[in-house]
Structure formats: structure tokens, C-alpha cells
Amino acid sequence: MKQLVQLAILIFAFSFSSNAQNKKKQDQKAIKDMCGCYEVTFNFAETFEYSEDSTYVPSKTKHDKGLEWVQLVEDESDKISMQHLLIVGSKEQPYIVKHWRQDWEFENTDLYEFDHNNKWTFISLPKKEVKGQWTQKVFQVDDSPRYEGSATWVHVDGKSYWESTTSAPLPRREYTKRSDYNVTLRTNRHEIVENGWIHDQDNDKIIREDAKEDVVLAQEKGHNTYVKVEDVKCVSAQDYWKKNEVKWALVRAKWDEVFARNKDLVLEEKVDNKVLYKYLFDKEKYQTAEEINPVIESFVKK
């Protein structure tokens, strides 16, 4: 009888482990399915406003589109990294914009949560809280932090999706025009569909101040579609990455060293009246660690 019980336990443990591995492979496939060449639409609309100011003016509805290459940068068992490259200009003379980057880390316990005023709070989660989850870490064009959130990929009824809510800085389309709020509380949903993937957003526009409760100024809906097209349409972005991947690996390595300090992070908005990406996007300078590391460090407040 004892042997039968032990055998049953072994069978259950094997079955559980096998199912967990199969689930993880499904997750990895869903994440990597976001790579490739895409025709993208960006759509945002302010839906509800809660301002008590009678002169309040909502953000205009935004519709935009573009061609984007999503480059697989790292492909490891517990980490997948993907760089977005936006292709603008004419077919004859395309111009590549290094866009946002997304890293996915399995059962990650260390996160940098955006607070406000260019500050990210370091938090360490219990292992049991992130079991089976993936952290999506999103970075700015200069590979500085943007936002991070942890959740479980769901595969059900033929759908694969991941959804998380986390605080983030204002998007570029807003912070160049708005100063009446300072945090975007983002609910991000990434769903893999037959012809590509969808990035759905339900966002709160938040006024956040120290020692005060958050105030919701307004809400917005974001719906970005990534429709897959032939990779050949994104050859210019692929060529750009081949020429520049070593430089950006050095940039990521320096940021990894900063993040590994595992303490709250506050960044300067500008150094010598210049934002970080203006330094790093220089085509002649900042090609070596000796040039890159000091400029990034100069933006980290001590």
C-alpha cells in the first residue's frame, strides 16, 4: 500500500511538472509571437473626465500609423528581450527610430515601480507571489526605465493574453502638451491574434503628490493593432540593428548595472540642458563603454 501511495505521488509530481513546463513554453511562444514586421495603428481617446475646472480641455483623439520591426534581442529560458524599431520616411529613404523596448522575465521578484517626478521605487516581491508569472519591463528609447508589471499569461478558448496594471510616466504624446497630471496608471493587455497582436490600454490620468491620495483627472482608452506583414518590408530596420546592436548592448549593460544596485532610482530630466536620448542618439559619439557609462551615470541622482 505504501509503495502505491509513493507511486501515485511520483506520478502526480511528474504530471504537475510536465504541465508547468508546457505552460511555460506556451508563454514563451506567445511573447515571441510579438516579434517580426508589423503595420501598426495607434489609437487613443479620452473617455471620461473628472476635473472640477470648468475650463478643462480633454486631449484630442489620436490616430496614427506606422511600420515597425520588433527585433528579438535575447531569448533565454527565463528572459526574452525585444527591441521595437519604427520605420519612418519614404521607401527610398527610410529613417529608423529606436523605439521602446520590452523585456519579459519569468518569476521575477525584483521590480522598479514608477512613483512620480522621475522616481522609481525598488520593490522585492515574495517568490510565491510571482509563481508562474512574467514581468514585462518596458524601457524608454534611451533604455532608461519606463514601467514594469507582473502577471500570468492566460491561454484559454484559443486566446493568449497577458494583463497588468501599473504606474508609468506620461507618454510622449501627452507630456509635450499636458502638465495638469503627472502619472498614467496603465492597464496593459497584450493579446496574440491570428494576424498579429493587439496592445489594449485602459489608462487613468493621475495627479500624484507626496503624502496625498491620488486624484483621477481623466481616463482614456488605447487600442494599438500590430498586423503582421512580410519581413522584407522591414529590411531597413534589420540593417540598422545589425549596425548598432553592439552600441545598444553596451547601453543596456550599463543600465543593468544601475538596476542591480536594488535601491530607489531618481533620474535627472536633463544634464547640461540636454535629455539623455539626445546624447545617445548621436551617430558619432557614445559608441564605447568609456563614452556611454559616464553620461548615463550623470543622469542618476545620488
Q: What is the pLDDT of residues 78-131, one digit of tens each?
A: 999 999 999 999 888 999 999 999 999 999 999 999 999 999 999 999 999 999
Asked if the structure places residue 140 within a domain, the reply is yes
Percentage of residues of the chain with pLDDT beyond 70: 94
pLDDT of 9 higher than 60? no
Q: Is the pLDDT of residue 8 over 70?
A: no
Q: Does a structural domain hold residue 252?
A: no
Helix or strand (DSSP H, E) at 99: strand 94-106
- φ, ψ of residue 25 in degrees (nearest 5): -65, -40
Q: 235-259 and 289-297 helices cross at what angle (nearest 10)?
A: 60
Question: Does some domain include residue 210?
Answer: yes
How many angstroms separate the CA atoms of 17 and 73, rounded?
A: 28
Q: Is residue 261 part of a domain?
A: no
229 three-state secondary structure: strand
Does residue 211 belong to any structural domain of this protein? yes
Q: Encode pLDDT of 191-238 as tens digits.
A: 999 999 999 999 999 999 999 999 999 999 999 999 999 999 999 999
In a domain, residue 214? The reply is: yes
Domain around 87: 2-230
CA-to-CA separations, 177 to 57, 125, 133, 180, 239, in angstroms, rounded: 11, 36, 36, 10, 34
In a domain, 215, yes or no: yes
Mean pLDDT to the nearest integer, 157-174: 96
Please tell me the predicted confidence (pLDDT) of residue 91: 85
pLDDT of residue 5: 53
Q: Is residue 126 part of a domain?
A: yes
Banded model confidence at residue 43, pLDDT cuts 50, 70, 90: very high
The total of structural domains in the chain comes to: 1
